[in-house]
Amino acid sequence: MAKTDIVTLRPEAVDVEYDKKADVLYISFNSHTIANDSELTNKDVLIRYKNRKIIGLTVLHFSERQKQKDNRTNSTTLFRETKTERKANIQNLKP
């Protein structure tokens, strides 16, 4: 597990850039902060830290991940309800 404290994000502070030549997706939660530590996960994602707080992610081989996702079954189909199931679920929500 990552070595960090919980971080609260402001959506307007998130910066996302893709480098096509390097096939790397950069996600920065504060583009003005320079990391003083990092951790490479077994999924080829670099987690960047500043004083134990996550300040960004670097996703390596990004286009390959997208191709893998496109080749798999769409995950939303795994959670589709039938009309009968939907009615039953709605009934269970009513007081």
Count of structural domains, the chain: 1
Q: Which domain holds residue 70?
A: 11-93
In a domain, 31, yes or no: yes
Could you tell me the pTM of the whole model? 0.61
**pLDDT for the residue 72:** 60
Strand partners, 25: 18, 59
Mean pLDDT by 10 residues, the chain (95 residues): 59 86 92 90 92 91 78 50 56 51
What pLDDT shows up at residue 5?
60
Distance CA 44, CA 65 (A): 11
Extract the runs of DSSP E, i.e. beta strands, from the chain: 15-19, 24-28, 37-40, 45-50, 53-60
The per-residue pLDDT for 29 is 87
Confidence at residue 52, expressed as pLDDT on a 0 to 100 scale: 86
In this structure, are residues 25 and 62 in contact, taking their beta carbons and an 8 Å threshold?
yes
